[in-house]
Each structure stands twice: as C-alpha cells, then as structure tokens.
Structure 1
Amino acid sequence: MIKMDTVTVGDILKPARTSVNIEPAAEYVAIGIKSFGKGIFHYPPTLGANLGKLRFFRFPTGALAFSNIQAWEGAIGVTSEADAIAVASNRFLFYVPVDKDRVDVRYIYHYFLGEPGLAAIRGASPGSAKRNRTLGIERLERIRLPLPPIEEQRRIVDLVETVDKVIEKARTCLDKLTTLRSQLVDSIRANGKAVLLSDVAVVSQGRSLPIEHQGKQAGEVSWFKISDMSTPENLFGYRRAATRMTMHDIKQKGGQVLPVGAVVFPRVGGSILTENKRIVDVECAVDENHLVVSPNSETNPEFLLGAIESLRLSSLVQTGAVPSLNMGLIRSVRLPWTTGEHQNALGDVLGVTRKQGATQTAYLRRLEALRSELLTALLAGEHQILESYDDLLGA
C-alpha cells in the first residue's frame, strides 16, 4: 500500500479561464468535450455573431476541462497546445494545479474517469433529465479524492497511458479489418452479376421460443433471440445464446436446429434498421423474429454472408405500425454474385476477416478490462509502482 493524502478538488486545483469579448465579425473556433473520456474536439470556425448569447472564455494549455452538463458521463479532458486557439462557452470549467510540484493534472483526469471518480462527479451533478444534470463549481470543488506523491502520480499516468496506446493500436487494427471486409463486399457488388436469392439458398423463419424457457440454461444448444445478436460474443457470428437447451428439448418444443453456415437477420421491428446480419457458427435454433437463409450445396456460406451484407434491409421494409420483412420479397431479392473458384476464394478471405475481427474484438475487450482493473488498483493505492520504473522510462 502506498501512502495517500485525502484532499478536495478545491485544495489542489484552481479555476483557470479568462473572459473573452466576442466580436461579431471576427472568426472563432469553439471546443466541445466528448463523453466517455473521448477527448476535446473543435467545432468548425464560425463568426462571433453565430456563437449565440453564451459567455465565452480562453483557457490555458494543460488544464483539466469539464463539460458542466455532460461531465457525469465522462465529458472530461486535458487541454493541449492545439486547443489554445479555441474558445469555450460558460458550459465548460477549467482547472490547473495550485502547486504543479504536488499535482499532475493527468492523474486527476484519469481518477475522474475511473469508477470512484466518475461516481463522485455524478454525485455532484444532481438531476434526472440528461440536460439537467449540471456539475456545479462548488460541488465539484468539494469532491474528495486520494492523492499520492507526485512521482507516483506520474508513474500511474505513464502506465495507464501505455496501456491506452496498446488499446488504440488494437482499435486501429480492428478498423482496418472492418475496412478490408467492406472493400471485399464492395468487390462482390462491382462484379456486375446477380442471382435470385431463392436460386442459391432456402429462406425460412425461426420458431417461437417458449417464454417459460427464455433465459434458462438447461443444455448446450443455443436458442437465439434477436437480443443475443448484439452481445459481444455474437458480434461476428452466432456462438452462444442466453437460452440453452438440449437438442431433444429444442425439437420437442418446436424449434428447428439450423446447420452451421446459415445466415440470419432480423425479420421484424426496429432491429431491422440495425442492418445486422450473422452467420451461424454452431448448430442452434433461432426465434420467430429471425429470417434464416440456408445456402445450397454449391454456395459458399461466407460468400453468401458477404453478399447479404451488401443489401440494405431497411430499403426492403414493409410500411406499417411495426417494420417487417416479407419472406417472399426476400426470396426475390437479387444478390451480387460470382461462382466457382472465385466465389470460394472470396468466401475464404471473407471468413478470415470475420474470424480475425472476432479475435481482435475479444483481445480489445480483455485489454479494456485490464485497464479498468489496473486503474482501480493503482488509484486505490493497493499497489505501488517501484522507483525502478523511472529507470525503465529513461531507458
């Protein structure tokens, strides 16, 4: 355990913003702060006359910045030199250390984005409606927090931000995989050939999952509801549902077990507009809110998924009180297509990008969980970073 002082924000930070007289004919860049610790951004340049009636301020580089209406969901940042050209409305609060030899602003930033710090910010932002949860200056400055020695603050910041860099690289890799897959799907469309969906696959509807079995785990075979489609483990293919039964029970309850390689997507409701499509990676059943496209023996399942990903389901929706897809209409859809070795080659590459996407997403989730656990432990003083870490930084 490391020795920490308990201080208030007002003990260690002081307000740092200077009023600006906005000239109507002059051009200004205003800042905003994204929620969930995503950082400070700039609005496009605009004339002062267009800024509205709010008061505006300048602020220093290296200041801790809060959006007073969105801080409760992590709209917090640290200003950089690039932000020095900008102005901020009175909806933003800025603070700098009272004593720079005692406080590293980046440590305070990470503290407030961690669980204890964000809970304190929420407690200081009363109200229930989103726009009414305002962080007041007095309430902010009364928040109490642990403060380790400055050397330890800097080590914590460096360690956490090193993990952040690894996370950012993982996100970049995932973005590249997503872009590559989109380009592959576009290449199918660019081929110029098309077939009727009913000529290459069988279209059917899932079967109703009895309500008394929903959410229960009484076996190893999954019976998917549409809500399972958005869970992390099913983002790249159907693998595991919240409801699991034995194969015998699924058949007895009227379920239909799908083969690996079938493609599913929402049949009814607002879920259609998500444009989500999934391939089935394990034998399973799906509920009546799914449409199922089962490829014939000459159709590569991964290629079929890619071709279906090129469709905009929202353009096929029937109008009515509840959006829905007509099974007959889906059967008559013309899919971009190719055949033979070219289809299999594209299908193989699409399959690799899908599986790599799943692997990279799981890796990213593990990194994010590690960061959260690491930050919580370090901010609680449960672990001290050895002084030899400083030598490592200088290496």
Structure 2
Amino acid sequence: MFEQTFKNIDDILHKDAGCTSELDYTEQSSWLLFLKYLDALEVDKALEVELIGKTYHFIIDKPYRWESWAAPKGPDGKLDHNSALTGDDGWVSTTIGDSCTLKSGTTVPVSIEKSSGDIPYVKVAEMTLPDNQDGITTSIRFLDRPDVKPGWLIPKGAVIFPKRGGAILTNKKRLALVDMCADLNIMSVIPSEKLTPEFLYFYFLTVDMRKLGTGSSIPQINNYDIAPLTISFPESRLKQAEISETIRALEKECQRLESLYQRKLTALDELKKSLLAQTFSGAL
C-alpha cells in the first residue's frame, strides 16, 4: 500500500546534491518514519486515557509534535501547506570550524601518569568503560592538574571521538562531562558560547565518521574533515536545551520500547520451544 509513497520519497531524496545511493539518506528517512509512528502512538494513548477520564502526558512538547511542524492543520481541519515548517526563524546555519574549536589529544610522559588523580587521561579504549557510556567521567589513568600543560586540557563540554585507525569505524562519540586529557588518537570539538555542549553532542551523533576518514592504509580524520561540516542551531541556548531534553526523552522511550520488544521476543521463543517439546513428546 505504501510502496508508491516510499518510491516518491526515494525519487526526491535521490536527487539531492551529494547523494550517491539510498544509504546516504536511509537514516534520515527512518528517523522521520519513527517520529510519525511515535506521534500516532501517542495520539492513540491519549485517546485511550481520555476514555477513562484521565490525562495523558505527551513525551514530546506540542511545538515539536508531528502535527505542529510536519502536518499543521488550518481552521477547516485540512493540511495547511503555507504553515508547514520548512525552516524556523531564529536558527542560524554555519560550520563547525566557525562555531567550535578543534583540538587533538597529545602524548604525555608516562612518568606523570597515575592510577588516580585530578584529570582523566583518556585513550580510545576508555571511551567504552561502563562509567563513560553516557559521557566521559573517568579513565584507568589520571594526571595531576599541576602536571597538565594548558595545551593538553580538553574542557568539560567538548565532544570527543576517535580520529585514527580502525577505531573510526566504531563511530563512537562521547561528551566530556569533566575536564580531561586525551592521547593522539582522539579529537575533540569544543563548542563556543553559541552552542550548548549537549546540542553539539546530539549533532555529532548524526555525523557518520566512517565517511570522513582519509588515508591510504591507516584511516585518519583531520581538522579539514571536521571544520567544513555544516551545523544549524537555534540562536537561543534555552531553545537548544529544550531540544536536547526532548531528544533525551525520546531516547528513553526508545530504550523502553526496545526492552519491551526484546521481552516479547524472548517470551515468543520460550513458547516456541515449549510447543516443539510438547509436539515431539506426544503431549499435543
């Protein structure tokens, strides 16, 4: 039923500059479909709750719901094409190079590394520590602040990612939740006062680092790969914070739905095993 609709979407997106295959816009298409599905799910939930005389609390605030920006309706209840959101006043578009500072890590003398201290010294492997899943807070090696030269420090609020070798293929990004140092295999992007750190972090989650790496034998990401990237954001830091909060809420809902789905799959698998056991034991 939706085959022609998807084909029309594909035909439009495929004509965009820089698109060479469906893989270039599959993530964006999937995200839009998810937002539409989530909106429909919330509307259904709101109706269910209304029937029992209660109030449903939407995950997404009204200005960011599908009906507000993707399919606004006029007084007659029909789609208002003139009001459909194709851009928002108060947003600016610039490059990462013009709105952020790029800084690579550095190698520090082994003699000043410690098992505990003031400043975590992070290598790529430490990005996956359990305590660093939601942002960098620790490491297995540390530096005392008096030993840290000013040029080594990556400030709290920077976004970091691997810049060299096979680690680029992991596409990992982390937000620095504390001041830190990093080795040469890590690059950081430090937001200016125009950007909130979390908004910048969510932006980089949309960037596929695997497409940026250059190098004949060993992939590497350099400043000239990151600086030209285009970023759009609201001039209001408060609006940026609101958007980040909405994304966090969506993340939690996605995790909840994923957990629920996984539990149902597990229950279905157990049922299948039970039925097979009963079948071959003659119990059915």
Identify the TM-score tier after normalising by the shorter chain. 0.5 to 0.7
2:120 to 222, 230, 246: 222
CA displacement 1:156-198 (0-9 Å, x = unmatched): xxxxxxxxxxxxxxxxxxxxxxxxxxxxxxx9xx969742111
Whether contact under 8 Å (2:112, 2:147) holds in the other structure is no
Give the match for residue 107 of structure 2. Answer: 208
Unaligned runs of 5+ in 2: 1-69, 71-85, 260-284
Give the match for residue 283 of structure 1. Answer: 179
Higher helix share: 2
Q: Does 2:241 correspond to 1:344?
A: yes
Give the match for residue 235 of structure 1. Answer: 133
Give the match for residue 207 of structure 2. Answer: 311
Equivalent residue letter for 2:201? L
Q: Percent identity?
A: 24
C-alpha separation between the residues in 2 aligned to 1:191 and 1:235?
33
Whether contact under 8 Å (1:213, 1:243) holds in the other structure is no
Whether contact under 8 Å (2:162, 2:172) holds in the other structure is yes
Equivalent residue letter for 2:131? E
C-alpha separation between the residues in 2 aligned to 1:211 and 1:237?
25
SS in structure 1 at match of 2:152: coil
1:353/1:308 CA distance change after superposition, 3 Å: same
2:220 to 292, 310, 324: 324
C-alpha separation between the residues in 1 aligned to 2:241 and 2:171?
24
CA displacement 1:305-333 (0-9 Å, x = unmatched): 00111100011110311110121221111
Whether contact under 8 Å (1:191, 1:337) holds in the other structure is no
Cα drift, residue 212 of structure 1: 4.6
C-alpha separation between the residues in 1 aligned to 2:211 and 2:87?
22
1:352/1:282 CA distance change after superposition, 3 Å: farther
Whether contact under 8 Å (2:94, 2:232) holds in the other structure is yes
C-alpha separation between the residues in 2 aligned to 1:246 and 1:326?
29
Q: Does 2:96 correspond to 1:197?
A: yes
C-alpha separation between the residues in 2 aligned to 1:235 and 1:191?
33
Cα drift, residue 255 of structure 1: 6.0
1:298/1:316 CA distance change after superposition, 3 Å: same
CA displacement 1:217-268 (0-9 Å, x = unmatched): 15232111111011111111101011112101222xx862222111101110
Equivalent residue letter for 2:208? R
Query: Normalised by the size of structure 2, how large is the TM-score?
Result: 0.52
Whether contact under 8 Å (1:197, 1:330) holds in the other structure is yes
Give the match for residue 297 of structure 1. Answer: 193
Q: Does 2:155 correspond to 1:256?
A: no
SS in structure 2 at match of 1:259: coil
Query: Normalised by the size of structure 1, how large is the TM-score?
Result: 0.39
The count of corresponding residues between Structure 1 and Structure 2 is: 169
CA displacement 1:65-106 (0-9 Å, x = unmatched): xxxxxxxxxxxxxxxxxxxxxxxxxxxxxxxxxxxxxxxxxx
Equivalent residue letter for 2:102? V
SS in structure 1 at match of 2:148: helix
Whether contact under 8 Å (1:302, 1:351) holds in the other structure is no
1:245 to 131, 135, 143: 143
1:283/1:350 CA distance change after superposition, 3 Å: farther
Higher strand share: 1
> What root-mean-square deviation, in Å, do the aligned CA atoms of Structure 1 and Structure 2 show?
3.1
1:208/1:335 CA distance change after superposition, 3 Å: same
**If you compute each CA radius of gyration, which structure gives the higher value, 1 or 2?**
1
